[in-house]
Chains A and B, each alone.
Chain A
Amino acid sequence: MTNTARQASRRAAIVPLAVAVAETVHDGDSVALEGFTHLIPFAAGHEIIRQQRRDLTLVRMTPDIIYDQMIGMGCARRLVFSWGGNPGVGSLHRFRDAVEHGWPGPLELEEHSHAGMANRYAAGAAGLPFAVLRGYLGSDLVGETDTISTIACPFTGEVLTAVRALTPDVAVVHAQRADRHGNVQLWGITGIQKEAVLSARRAVATVEELVEELEPQPGAIVLPAFALDFVSVAPGGSHPSYTHGYSRRDNDFYVAWDGVSRGRETFARWMEEHVLDP
């Protein structure tokens, strides 16, 4: 990944999700589907699986079930992440199978902490080549991950941690709503979505609904149409994650996924029935 300080100009077009994915996600791309527990773009991830993208570098702080599915379906060559579990439940079994047994193919890891990943997105969004933080001190991650280094402060000489900027080819986020111009509004736990969108070369937002006007909401972020390439309407597109004000997190699904994903065959059958041929 090279860093480009200058972003190409954008203007969100409102298109069906299949078109948005076909236009933006190509084999070999680095792709960041973000959303921290909240607003995880499952519908977009499923569309990427249906379009059979391969050799992707998947970027995400918390890989969650959506990346478990994409890894298990053979979309990924590499994973850039900071926490790969099923929160409160246990393991992501497809992720583990890939790392521990190379199934369905080997998975390269580029592993960070949350603070490091958040700063990497912020640097990418700011058009900077790296970010500075107090992080990873004494952790064995430093020796395993070559996008973690150190830098001396030019004013005090203090040695600090540096992490390389993230500049994914594509960022995908889910949001509550968009207007007809393609301005997108999201609220609740807003996570890293703004930084992810602004760090990426191309950006897609799926939304619950299109509205005439974006009424102000406490704590809301607006991603202006010029920050996005495509907006697609995908009601329920965050399930089993949730959309604040529209749906609740389907915790029973997260618990049930543990059993579905443990075996390769039960996993493949579930994906066939629910994603490939729903």
Chain B
Amino acid sequence: MSSTPRLERGDPARPADAGPRFSPAEMMSVAAARVLPDGASCLVGIGLPSTAANLARRTHAPELVLIYESGTIGAKPEFLPLSIGDGVLGETADAVVGLVEIFNLWLQPGRIDVGFLGAAQIDRFANINTTVIGASYRAPAVRLPGAGGAPEIAASCRETVIVMHQSRERFVEKLDFVTSVGHGSGPGSRRRLGLLGGGPSAVITDLGIFAPDPATCELVLTHLHPGVAVEDVLAATGWKLRVSASLETTGPPTEHELAALRALEQTRPAGAR
């Protein structure tokens, strides 16, 4: 695999001498990988979170402990799994346990540092919907896959990180269905509900990075990805978004990060998300 990133057309506008070109989706995966601390245990959702978590293991966090809800603890896949129970996860894991054990003994008591999730819809308090689109649960416009492990992952991990593509249809004023709780209806919500973990600490999209305000729990834009304007983010957000007074620009992907990500992506079957 070449370590020289290939040039792509239509990437965010960047000065010619500022390093490799990259797509918004690549920036999202790189930014999401960076928030995972080396040595942490991370319960990984399939899709974007799995890509980012595996990228983290190949870059700054070789000791990251990947846990998939299939019961594979300490998985070290050499290629991207398509599903959370692919053979490569069981073959490379430090331990393989049953589903009752993974949820009851490992997740439920709050032993896992980071829950790494995707979402179809998110609201200002980082509650997430992965169940239905449309007003009616029984007669939805779009039936989504559902909860999986997410409600309890979002409840019990020490913190939650969410990675998802951003648009006005996905960043909504009101969720069509609350599948998994982030910060509920604001300060004190998690404690009142009895949720053990700290809840969402970051939301990473293809446009920028958001973090909950310590006082209000509401998501605030803290980082813009290179080439993205505040107006782009506001236009892709369905509520009146607050922007941090100390807004920063996300560091662009390094050559090493991009090469590692592209090598990973090439291990995925054509046609997968």
Contact = CB atoms under 8 A, between A and B. Distances in A.
Q: Which of B131, B148, B269 is the most central at the interface, judged by chain A CB atoms within 10 Å of its CB?
A: B148
Interface in B115-161: 127, 131, 137, 139-152, 155-156
B27 interface: no
B1 interface: no
B184 A138 contact: yes
B84 A244 contact: no
Interface stretch (A45-53, A183-191, A201-209, A229-237): A183-191
A96 B143 contact: yes
7 contacts: A37-B70, A83-B146, A88-B273, A100-B142, A114-B152, A194-B98, A251-B86
A197 B70 CA distance: 18
Interface stretch (B173-181, B210-218, B228-236): B173-181
Interface in B155-204: 155-156, 177-181, 184, 189, 193-196
Contacts of B103: 114-115, 118-119, 133
Interface of A: 36-38, 61-62, 81-85, 87-92, 95-96, 99-100, 111-115, 118-119, 121-122, 133-141, 144, 159, 188-192, 194-195, 219, 242, 244, 248-249, 251-252, 254-256, 258
A114 B271 contact: no
Given A61-B99, A100-B142, A119-B103, A114 B87 contact: no
Contact of A114 (B144, B147, B273): B147
Tell me whether chain B's interface is mostly helix, strand or loop, or mixed.
loop
Contacts of B104: 115, 118-119, 133
B46 interface: yes
**B contact residues, range:** 35 or more
A191 B70 contact: yes
Contact of A89 (B82, B100, B142): B82
Given A138-B195, A249-B83, A191 B145 contact: no
A78 to B, nearest CB: 13
Interface of B: 46-47, 69-72, 81-87, 89-91, 96, 98-100, 103-104, 107-108, 127, 131, 137, 139-152, 155-156, 177-181, 184, 189, 193-196, 268-273
A244 B85 CA distance: 11
Contacts of A134: 108, 152, 155-156, 194, 196
A99 B180 contact: no
- Can you list the 7 inter-chain pairs with the closest CB atoms, starting with the nearest? A37-B85, A85-B145, A87-B83, A138-B181, A83-B148, A88-B82, A255-B271
Contacts of B146: 81-85, 111
Given A111-B146, A138-B184, A251-B86, 14 more contacts: A82-B147, A83-B145, A85-B145, A87-B84, A90-B273, A91-B143, A113-B147, A114-B99, A134-B156, A137-B181, A138-B178, A188-B87, A190-B96, A192-B98
Given A87-B82, A99-B140, A189-B90, A121 B100 contact: yes
A89 B155 CA distance: 26
A64 to B, nearest CB: 9
A255 B272 contact: yes
Nearest to B85: A37
A140 B98 CA distance: 27
Contact of A88 (B47, B195, B270): B47
